[in-house]
Amino acid sequence: MKQNIKVFVLPAIIIVFVLITTFFPVYHPKVEVLSPPDMRYGLTENDISAMFGVKYSFVRYIFEPVLGPVEYVSQWRKINIQLFTLFFWVLAVSVVIGIIKSKKNSIFIICITALYFFVFIAFCVLFPSSANRIVINSAKLKLVDIHSHTFQSHDGIRSFEYNNRWHKNMGFNEWYITEHEENNHTGNMELNLESNHYLFLQMGQLSVKDEEKFWLSNVPGKISMAHEHGGTVIVAEQWNDKNGKSPDILAGYGVDGFEIVNGGFPYITKAEQQEIIDTCRKYKLTLWSSTDWHGWGNSYAYATAVDTPIPIGTKFTRVLPLCITRNESYSFTRLSLEPASSIFYYFSGLNISQRISWILWTLFFSVIFNLRVIKTCRKKFFVIFLNITLVVFLLFNSTVFAQAFLTEEMGGNKVIPLVFFMVTILAVILGVYTLSLNKQEKSSYGLK
């Protein structure tokens, strides 16, 4: 009887937590326009609420306990610090559990915990999640991403076709693939010049003579040539280029605008953001929000709404940088308490349908684990099933990356082979561990 009650303790805790967090401050994702009121072209807060929203797919609602946390982690704004803190606490807890349960096996428990941590990170990066996305309820505006990459860039991990498919699935009307340092005959590229990053957009194909002149020119000269060929130049991630020029100096070079936020470097201080805003206000430049998508993860929180159509080679009429925000704190306290703080924020931001999904799946697995057939082996049944699923997932992605670096022209990309190696190693280690669990399970029943 006591054993049967124990099975329902964890599900009961999950369900109670899902219900209790309903009454905490709401952190539902919403779309925010990042430009100040005087740069919103007369739009009021009511107009913005009516024009922009966050949409979830039906698949997301069905599989919220899997897809929700994956998307939430992929949209952390200080992901490096948060992952480090998460890893620290996970290891600390595993050490305590290892000492309490078995001092002899404590090292083994720590290693297995670290293995699952890295598998979880790989899952968040590689799983094609059905993410939330920005929707525009206006025929006059369209969703644009001016900054993304493929494995033609040194740090991208997805193909040109995958990039296009991803943007289409995420609801973008127009997007630009801006490879590092190379034009690649698309008329769009990202250049790192004098410690600042610039997006050169819509330049078209340069003649051999003009291309030679372009590369020999200084930064203002390159910007001037881009304008001569109908292009637009946007300063990317200026706040992250610590050794770069100030926004005021860059504006003097003749750029057309600045990114005010970027999915690759999403954390920007209010002071840094205000400096960019003041510069754009002073020089009448545009503010942009972009994904900077490299294929690491399949969700996004940043995009830009622009007037439609966009005339090539002319100034944009209205540009509204957008961000999916939860109004969460990123204080030292929050960061030091990962993952507890993120668990609280995540569950507090769920809507009714997502909470119902969590409750139904929790009840489903509670019943499954209490079935007589599974009772005697439930401790390892779920682990074995989960491990097999993850091994198949990792091996599938391993073959995708292997095919990429064996058959595709990837320029100077050295990340793909590294990702292939790491994913394959994780699959092998997890597979070996799963086989050992399966062997233990059989021996417990006297099977060979």
236-240 long-range Cβ contacts below 8 angstroms, 24+ apart: 236/147, 236/190, 236/197, 236/198, 236/199, 236/262, 236/290, 236/292, 237/197, 237/262, 237/264, 237/265, 237/292, 238/196, 238/197, 238/276, 239/265, 239/268, 239/269, 239/272, 239/273, 239/276, 240/265
Considering the domain architecture, whether residues 220 and 288 belong to the same structural domain is answered as yes
- Amino acid identity of residue 191, one-letter, is L
Residues 389 and 402: their CA atoms lie apart, in Å, by 20
What DSSP state is assigned to residue 205? Answer: P
Cα–Cα dist 339/315, whole Å:
45
Q: What pLDDT is attached to residue 312? A: 43
> DSSP for 239-283?
GG-TTS--HHHHHHTT--EEEEEETTS----HHHHHHHHHHHHHH
3-class secondary-structure state, position 307? strand
pLDDT value for 376? 55
- 337 shares a domain with 319: no
Amino acid, single-letter form, for residue 393: F
Burial of 385 (0-12, 13-18, 19+ CB in 10 A): exposed
Say if 51 falls within a structural domain: no
Q: CA nearest 433: which of 393, 380, 379, 395?
A: 380
Q: Which of 325, 347, 366 is the last residue of a domain?
A: 325
Q: Do 285 and 255 contact (CB within 8 A), yes or no?
A: yes
Both 101 and 124 in one domain: the answer is yes
Residue 113's closest CA among 88, 134, 148, 135? 88
Provide block-wise average pLDDT over 10 residues at a time, the chain (448 residues): 62 87 82 93 90 90 91 88 92 83 75 92 85 87 93 90 93 92 72 94 84 91 91 94 93 95 91 96 94 90 80 63 89 90 92 94 83 60 86 95 81 85 95 81 46
Residue 32 lies in a domain: no
Question: Does a structural domain hold residue 61?
Answer: no
Please give the backbone phi and psi of residue 297, each rounded to the nearest 5 degrees, phi first.
100, 160
Range of the domain at 10: 2-26+72-128+332-441
- Are 223 and 299 in a shared domain? yes
Does some domain include residue 9? yes
Same domain, 176 and 318: yes
Alpha carbons 244 and 259: distance in angstroms, whole number: 15
121 contacts 149 by C-beta, under 8 angstroms: no
Q: Looking at the structure, tell me whether residues 216 and 358 fall in a common domain.
A: no
As given in the structure block, the two tokens for residue 271 are 């002071």
Give the number of other Cβ atoms within 10 Å of residue 261's Cβ.
Answer: 25
Same domain, 122 and 147: no
pLDDT at 389: 93
d(Cα 180, Cα 193) in Å, to the nearest integer?
11
> Are 44 and 388 in contact, with CB atoms under 8 Å apart?
no
Query: What CATH number corresponds to the domain at position 166?
Result: 3.20.20.140
Residue 103: DSSP 8-state:
S
- Tally of domains in the chain: 2
What whole-number distance in Å separates Cα of residue 324 and Cα of residue 29? 6
CB-CB contact of 226 with 232 (8 Å)? yes
45 in any annotated domain = no
Q: Are 179 and 149 in contact (CB under 8 A)?
A: yes
Residues 352 and 387 in one domain: yes
- Quick check: is 38 in a domain? no
Please state whether beta strands 133-136 and 179-180 pair in parallel, antiparallel, or not at all (unpaired). Answer: unpaired
Asked if 95 and 205 sit in the same domain, the reply is: no
Give the per-residue pLDDT at 311.
43
Q: Which among 290, 279, 267 has a CA at the least distance from the CA of 82?
A: 267
At which of 295, 325, 355 does a domain end? 325
Q: Are residues 342 and 309 in the same domain?
A: no
CA 20 vs CA 111, 305, 340, 348, 350: distances in Å: 34, 36, 15, 9, 12
Q: Indicate whether 59 belongs to any domain.
A: no
Q: How many CB atoms lie within 10 A of CB 324?
A: 20
Task: Quote the pTM value.
Answer: 0.88
Cβ neighbours of residue 119 under 8 Å, at least 6 residues apart? 390, 394, 426, 430
Q: Which of 258, 207, 210, 267 is nearest to 240 (CA)?
A: 267
Q: Are 248 and 124 in a shared domain?
A: no
Buried b (16+ CB within 10 A) or exposed e, 106-137: beebbebbeebbbbbbbbbbbbebbbbbbebe
Which of these three, 282, 299, 325, is where a domain ends? 325
Distance CA 397, CA 271 (A): 41
Q: Are residues 272 and 311 in the same domain?
A: yes
**Is 20 contained in some domain?**
yes
